[in-house]
Amino acid sequence: MLQIVQTRTVEADELLSKLLARGKLTDESILKVVRRTLSDVQEEGDKAVIRYTRKLDAPRIAVKDLKVTREEFGEAYLEVPSEFIDAITQARTNIEAFHKRQLRTSWLSTEDDGVLLGHLIRPLKRVGVCVPSVSQLLVSSLLMSVIPATVAGVEEIAVCTAPMRNRDINPYMLVAAGECGIQEVYKCGGAQAVAAMAYGTETIPAVDKIVGPGNLYVQFAKKEVYGHVDIDKLAGPSEVLVIADSTADPDFVAADLISQAEHGPECAAILVTPSQGFAEQVKKSIEVQGESLPRYDQLTQSFENYGVAFIVSDLPEAVAFANEIAPEHLELHLENPLDWLGEIQNAGAILIGPYSPEAVGDYIAGPNHILPTGTAARYASPLSVDDFLKKTSLISYTKTALEKVTPAVVKLAEVEGLEGHAAAMKIRFEED
């Protein structure tokens, strides 16, 4: 399943270009559908949301079913095992603890001349969260979206997730929401959910920001409503890159590549190693381990599309290669991984050593797993508390302090041709 190629060859360059191009939002046919959906929801509200939800998810859903009731939350708790609640509690505790360390407070600075400067930091008032729950049940993404918002102090958090065909939300998703203190859940997903949260409907009040993962329809919709509301980021297909030397365990590496590939055929599982023999061992282990997994056909397709082992000359080249790809997840299976940490410039999350698989980061370690994809780690960061805060600048000058800077302000304003700005400074000292 895993393709093995030497770097600095035509084949390697072609595969690298293919990897770097994946997940780009360029599908005009999807964009056309999304724009029509957004327009319909903006004009028709609940009626359009229900029409699309009936077509795509639950044929018998009605407007009265759109918002999840307290009774439905209670029924969901009866359907899930206590072990799931225990796991959610453990994950929530770790995620909360990590994100609380990101909190920042407002600050003021007073200079000797009486100038007061500062930042006033406030949470957003209302946030919407999109979470897939039908094609893939991403309970963990609910936690990663909701908990940072809660830690930031967001007053209102609305979750939109698609219902099953029987009009119910998956009970695991509802219990996860309940355990995070979320009671506002709506039965809709896809572009129609993004539209409802952006523009508001009779049932779903508009939000200030939309976060969360989703398919291309969701990502296109988020891109289209940006500016009307804020969004977190445009998330492409997931990816992992493993740098490994000959001391690594090939079965561990194979398992981690498989765990990424099972997300879907557009996901990338990349190995970078100086050892051809090690790459061959990983390839064989993938084939053995994959046969026993229920998503074997999907794994095979994913590895055929974007499963590659690049053979490099040495570890410095491996690190340079990883920095070029800027992966969402980067695993270091090296004899001395910390020695290389300072060389990593571009990665959404770095998992260090053989006992730090991507899976522990996805679910329970604490750092956020909503990460930049598709080379966006060159400039973007994981979802964090900062994404749910807004900053307001504070400026206060005394007369004495303003007089000192007036000549400089006047000069700059005159150069820009903004005489009104200059006059606004000079008028305060005309009597003097």
For residue 369, indicate whether it is catalytic: no
Which residues are CB-contacts of 153 (< 8 A; sequence separation ≥ 6)? 123, 388
Query: Listing from the earlier edge strand, what are the strands of the sheet with 185-187?
Result: 185-187, 156-161, 126-130, 209-211, 230-231
Total residues found in the chain within this entry: 432
Q: DSSP letters along 312-349, please?
A: -SSHHHHHHHHHHH--SEEEEE-SSTHHHHTT--S-SE
Strand 116-123 and strand 389-396: the pairing is antiparallel
Neighbouring-strand partners of residue 330 = 241, 350
Phi-psi region at 181: left, alpha or beta (left = phi > 0; alpha = psi -120 to 50): left
Which DSSP letter does residue 68 get?
A: P
Q: Which residue has the tokens 């999109």?
A: 130
Query: Of 179, 224, 239, 328, which one is the catalytic site residue?
Result: 328
Select which of 179, 239, 262, 329 is catalytic.
Answer: 329
Distance CA 76, CA 193 (A): 22
Is residue 79 annotated as part of the catalytic site, yes or no? no
Q: Are the C-beta atoms of 314 and 334 separated by less than 8 Å?
A: no
Determine phi and psi for 169, rounding to 5 degrees. -85, 140
Catalytic residues: 328-329
